[in-house]
Amino acid sequence: MGELAFRNITKRFDKTEVLRHIDFQIEDGEFVVIVGPSGCGKSTLLRIAAGLEDQSEGQVIIGGTDVSLAPPAKRAIAMVFQSYALYPHLTVEGNMSLGLKQARTPKDVIKERIAEATRILALEPYLKRKPGQLSGGQRQRVAIGRAISRHPQVFLFDEPLSNLDAALRDQVRMEIADLHRRLGATMLYVTHDQVEAMTLADRIVVMHDGVVQQIGTPRELYKTPANTFVAGFIGSPRMNMFQGQANSGVIRAPGLPPLPLPEGTALSGPVTVGLRANGLDLHPAPGAGADTSEVVDIDYLGNVCYLRLTLPDDATMVVEQRPDHPFSLGDHVTVTVQPEEVHLFDPEGLRI
Amino acid sequence: MFRTSARQNPLRSSALHLVLIVYTLICVAPILLIIMNSFKSRRGIFGAPLEFPRGETFSLEGYETVFTIGNFPLYFQNSLIVTIVSLLLTVVFGAMAAFALSEYRYRGREILTLYMILGLMVPIRLGTVGILNMMAAAGISNTLTALILVYTAQHLPLAIFVMSELMRQVSDDLKNAARIDGLSEYRILFRLVMPVMRPAIATIAVFTMIPIWNDLWFPLVLAPSEETRTVTLGAQFFIGQFVTNWSAVLAALSLAIIPMLVLYMLFSRQIIRGITSGAVK
Ligand SMILES: Nc1ncnc2c1ncn2[C@@H]1O[C@H](COP(=O)(O)OP(=O)(O)O)[C@@H](O)[C@H]1O
Ligand SMILES: [Mg+2]
């Protein structure tokens, strides 16, 4: 009942297309995260789902009903904004009840809903306060409470954590994850932060320049990115990419050891080779040579280390190592590649 | 606040205060002079214009004249009606127009904005003859309605200009949250956007109200009849071609300051909150 479907949505501002043929469906109870760089059209798509923006073409279906022309209040959605968007002149309680009063909900139902939201988010001590008297994290919890009290079919989140500092961000993120588990409601969540996307989502939609690049579970996106954009966007640190040539079963890229082509592929011509930091091994080399790299930077993160290398052709590469690795700055090393961790892309950037 | 001013160089701060005090004196002096002299007899005014009213110069003859000869309570009422109604119309319609121009996207919006704001550049008095003909044709010359219409038209451009600029700065998310909660666009404007802009609206109100209250031109041209006369026009009654009753003129002027002073103080306490929350319920 709570599914949300975009049917071939296109959006133009004047002449510029900011969304192109968006077409996917979020199942009932699913948590879907749209992720993409700033300006790729994520918020616009969310606002179209909410009815705050008109699509130029296509339909929005919520719970099996075409709501393409319905006003926001009639779409059974609730939205949480980056800037909290609480009504400054109303108390926390007033903020949560305004929408219900507006929909002429009976008084006892309103009371019940507010009590429920208050309990779920532990807002009891703040009910009588105005938003101005709350901290950022508390305000965002109130905004989430306001969404809960509407009992929507679909929750929409537009970068709800971006205004919070790092520690709070993790805390509120977990609360949102708990909330989803608890309510089992359909949620569509927009962020530019791939870590948020990976940790929260059942499925992720990667967007770039108004076009959906790939839809899949976090694992699918990480393991089999559909193109170079997704490969570069999902996963931290960023995937290392190199331009190479495939020839008679071997790929050669400057600075890399020759890589065997995967079984059963007959490929020749230019390719892009993608290597994640954790799919590489380092071996000490006695000194500088034609196939050795130099360690130019070491990021120690406690549980892992990231080493930045300069390859013989001056390209750089990031390699993950255990924290007890034997290398130090200025060391010369040779790199070997774990064959199952090689991602190949054709000249158009599509996965091979 | 306190700490920064305490840390300031005392010499600089006293110099600043000196400048401000001198400026205040310059501004207040004429008003003080008017009020002082309004309590003097004609002899007192001309004999010792700069002195405070004393025993023999003190007299209430100006005020007596104003309240007996002229029809001043009526003039006051007229001025108040014209000023307050024009002010309300300017703020309400100005806000609505500004919202329409800043909030929605539609064809011809730029042209419409330009059209609304063009009034800033055209002195309305140049159109007096046209306005006069129009009012006569509509059969509303010599009514307060004529004045209210003209003043509203005159002050709308500035109000629209200032408010549409400010409304752009009100958070889109807030308006969108209200739309999701099912608030009408009117409620969003009057209950959410305008309260946020309260100080700006109070400023616009002051800048609208004072010129209207002080205007002599349109009352003279459009509504000179006895029943529709405003205070400024009424005070002219005492300025004759040959004899001018200065006590009465000064008393009328002193009285005319009071309502503006009261309104000004109300605005600075942001009475506007009441206006905007009561405008649409
Ligand atoms: N009201 C608007 N008028 C014109 N262009 C807009 C408007 N809103 C958004 N855009 C453009 O649409 C694109 C997508 O914006 P947005 O959906 O906010 O991106 P995101 O949320 O992914 O950062 C941007 O290039 C932005 O400039
Ligand atoms: Mg955005």
Model pLDDT for residues A170-229, shown as the tens digit of each residue: 999 999 999 999 999 999 999 999 999 999 999 999 999 999 999 999 999 999 999 999
| Complex ipTM tops 0.90 | no
Which residue in A102, A114, A151 has the most chain B C-beta atoms within 10 A of its own C-beta, making it the best mutation to test that interface? A102
Question: Is residue B192 domain-resident?
Answer: yes
Q: Are A270 and A231 in contact (CB under 8 A)?
A: no
> How far does chain A reach from its first CA to its final CA, in angstroms?
38
Q: Say how many domains are in chain B.
A: 2
Contacts of A146 in chain B (CB under 8 A): 177
Question: Is residue B170 domain-resident?
Answer: yes
CA dihedral A337, A342, A345, A346 (to 10 degrees): 60
Smallest CA-to-CA distance from B215 within B203, B198, B202, B229 is with B229
Q: Are residues B236 and B156 in the same domain?
A: yes
Q: Are residues B11 and B94 in the same domain?
A: no
Distant-in-sequence contacts of B145-148, Cβ < 8 A, 24+ apart: B146/B222, B146/B223, B147/B82, B147/B86, B147/B218, B147/B219, B147/B222, B147/B223, B147/B228, B147/B230, B148/B81, B148/B82, B148/B85, B148/B86, B148/B89
Of A71, A83, A102, which is closest to B173 when you measure between CB atoms?
A83
**B259: CATH:** 1.10.3720.10
B124, with CB counted inside 10 A (0-12, 13-18, 19+), is middle
Query: What is the pLDDT tens value at each position of chain B, 281 positions in all?
Result: 444 545 567 888 899 999 999 999 999 998 888 888 888 888 888 887 787 888 777 888 888 888 887 788 899 899 999 999 999 999 999 999 999 999 998 899 999 999 988 888 888 888 899 999 999 999 998 999 999 999 999 999 999 999 998 898 889 999 999 999 999 999 999 999 988 888 778 888 888 899 999 999 999 999 989 899 998 888 887 777 677 788 888 888 888 888 888 888 887 776 545 444 444 33
Q: Are residues B107 and B167 in the same domain?
A: yes
Question: Is residue B65 domain-resident?
Answer: no
**Which of B38, B59, B80 lies at the terminal end of a domain, its last residue?**
B59
Question: Is residue B50 domain-resident?
Answer: yes
Q: Are residues B139 and B11 in the same domain?
A: no
CA distance B94 to chain A (A): 23
Atom of ligand 1 at shortest distance to CA of A14?
A: 4
The Å distance, Cα B105 to ligand 1 centre, comes to 14
Range of the structural domain that residue B54 is part of = 1-59
Mutate to test the pocket of ligand 1, among A20, A40, A44, A46 (most ligand atoms within 8 A of CB): A44
Mutate to test the pocket of ligand 1, among A11, A12, A13 (most ligand atoms within 8 A of CB): A13
Q: Are residues B114 and B218 in the same domain?
A: yes
CATH architecture of A243-345: Beta Barrel (2.40)
Of A79, A82, A83, which is closest to B180 when you measure between CB atoms?
A79
Q: Are residues B263 and B131 in the same domain?
A: yes
**Which of B37, B59, B81 lies at the terminal end of a domain, its last residue?**
B59
Smallest CA-to-CA distance from A141 within A94, A197, A181, A179 is with A179
Q: Are residues B149 and B257 in the same domain?
A: yes
Residue ranges of domains in chain A? 4-233, 243-345
Q: Are residues B150 and B220 in the same domain?
A: yes
Question: Is residue B67 domain-resident?
Answer: no
Q: Are residues B254 and B160 in the same domain?
A: yes
Q: Which ligand is nearest to the CA of A83?
A: 2
Judged by a CB distance cut-off of 8 A, whether residue A189 touches chain B is no
> Is A4-233 assigned to CATH 3.40.50.300?
yes
B144, with CB counted inside 10 A (0-12, 13-18, 19+), is buried
CA dist A176 → A147, A201, B148, B181, B204 (Å): 12, 11, 56, 21, 44
Compute how many other C-beta atoms are within 10 angstroms of the C-beta atom of residue B233: 20
Q: Are residues B158 and B270 in the same domain?
A: yes
The Å distance, Cα A42 to ligand 1 centre, comes to 8
Q: Are residues B117 and B164 in the same domain?
A: yes
Q: Do B180 and A73 touch (CB under 8 A)?
A: yes
Q: Are residues B52 and B164 in the same domain?
A: no
CA distance A233 to chain B (A): 28
> How far is Cα A13 from Cα A83, in angstroms, rounded to an integer?
23
Q: Which ligand is nearest to the CA of A46?
A: 1
Of B179, B192, B195, which is closest to A73 when you measure between CB atoms?
B179
